[in-house]
Amino acid sequence: MDTPLSPDTPVVNAAAATVEAAVAAASLDPTTRQCPTVDQSDRTVPINLRQSGPTPVQMLISTRVRKSPYWHLAHKAGCWRATVYNRMYHPRGYVRPEDGGAMVEYDALVNHVTMWNVAVERQIQVKGPDAEAFVNTVVTRDVTRIAPMRGKYVILCNEEGGILNDPVLLRLSEDEFWFSLSDSDLEMWLRGVNLGLGMDVTIKEIDVAPVQIQGPKSKALMEDLVGPAIRDVPYYGLLEAQVGGRDVVISQTGFSGEAGYEIYLRDATLYADDMWNAVLEAGQKHNLMVIAPAHHRRIAAGILSWGQDLDQETLPFQCNLGYQVPRKKTADYIGKARLEQVRAELEAGGEPYAMQLVGMVLGGQPITDYAPDFWLISGADAGAPLGYVTSPWYSPELGTNIAMGYVPYGLRHEGTRLTVWLPDAYAETAGAPVNAQVVPMPFRASANPSARELARGQGRDSAY
């Protein structure tokens, strides 16, 4: 990694560079107008790049959006704000800003152990004699290589190669799989696919709701809950057990880059309190804290968030998921022809798409909360915006702001200098951009490295 930019390094033309000046050629008011200087010509629905700020509103809690089985428990634990994920209310804050906010939750995650209500990871079961063949048709990876009681991070693509979902796939048995969904509704698509395939499977959402147990003390806590058997569960391994006297499936997985597990509670609408309270009681001696999903830590680990860093118009190669497109899978799968075409174009030196996801370090005041907008990225000359930030946060370990974002394909190389238009609350000088630089991801080592991280560590090119 090149030496990160210093906040004191001057930005080219910074004295004249306001966000209005940077986009004046496009006659753009960035607070109310879309940004046409960012190339989104290969998207049907462009990302909304209006810089509208936090625009505070009160969320309406109603019956058309589901409450998870843990919703009342999360509220009791101090949840004060939420979003909607998979058409379910999703807690996104427990420690209030005046008490330190999300960075207090971060400290609990990296030093102790935390529990997250992630029931929004709805579980779609595929079961039946043709389950393996069906799942192998809808995911890019070779499902025949996943043994029972193991899991994998997978992607499902449409016929154009766009990523429909990037769930964790759990294989409970030879004929039963669970898709632990990211934020897009997959059940209806899977049912529609099988209307055409006519395979002998049933596809349905099941009454299973997970929580995540994440942090360096997670194994000790899990051993207190289920005994020494947890020691033998490998990364992405599964274990049938009981917590609080209720049946669960435990996986060694997580959304943080820290050591961690997920507890999938069966019959969750009946037994949520029993399992949750058992974890709270066992967690007292380990300094357990209930927190929101740690986007600040997953960014450092280079973990993507569907709908934020990728969507159904994003190709795997655009967002560093090229390793999910296997060269040796002989079975056909949805999107295979398009993905192999794109890979061939890349290997031939072509540019089959406009924008590439990159990691960046950037200046400015510490970003310690969620970004309400896709902040704009310019070149080193602070000219008209060319890209946008998807996921920014401050890294205490690195002592700098870090971010993922999309830039033109030609600016993807490590060491490339950029500028980012942060809101004045985070800017070094009001109205002026901060320096940024493209760096490798992940930004810091993970306790459980992903396949992409392992490939990089072994000197293998995972770009495609």
Check the annotation: does 176 bind a ligand: no
Q: Tokens 């990211």 belong to which residue?
A: 182
Query: Which of 91, 188, 100 has the alpha carbon at shortest distance from 138?
Result: 188
Q: Tokens 């890294």 belong to which residue?
A: 395
Cis peptide preceding 442, ω within 30 of 0? yes
User: Are β-strands 176-180 and 168-173 bridged in parallel, bridged antiparallel, or unpaired?
Assistant: antiparallel
Separation in Å, CA 340 to CA 110, 152, 192: 39, 22, 24
139: left (phi over 0), alpha (psi -120 to 50) or beta: beta
Q: Rounded distance, CA 151 to CA 171, Å?
A: 6
Question: What kind and span of H or E run contains 343?
Answer: helix 336-347
Query: Which of 323, 98, 306, 301 has the alpha carbon at shortest distance from 214?
Result: 301
**What totals of helices (H) and strands (E) does the chain contain, helices first?**
10, 21
Question: What kind and span of H or E run contains 417?
Answer: strand 417-420
End-to-end CA distance of the chain: 21
Q: Rounded distance, CA 426 to CA 371, Å?
A: 11
Separation in Å, CA 85 to CA 120, 140, 153, 255: 6, 24, 19, 15
DSSP structure string for 158-226 = -TTS-EEE-PEEEEEETTEEEEE--SS--HHHHHHHHHHH--S-EEEE-SEEEEEEESTTHHHHHHHHH
Q: Rounded distance, CA 279 to CA 402, Å?
A: 33
Annotated binding site: 262
Annotated binding site for substrate: 262
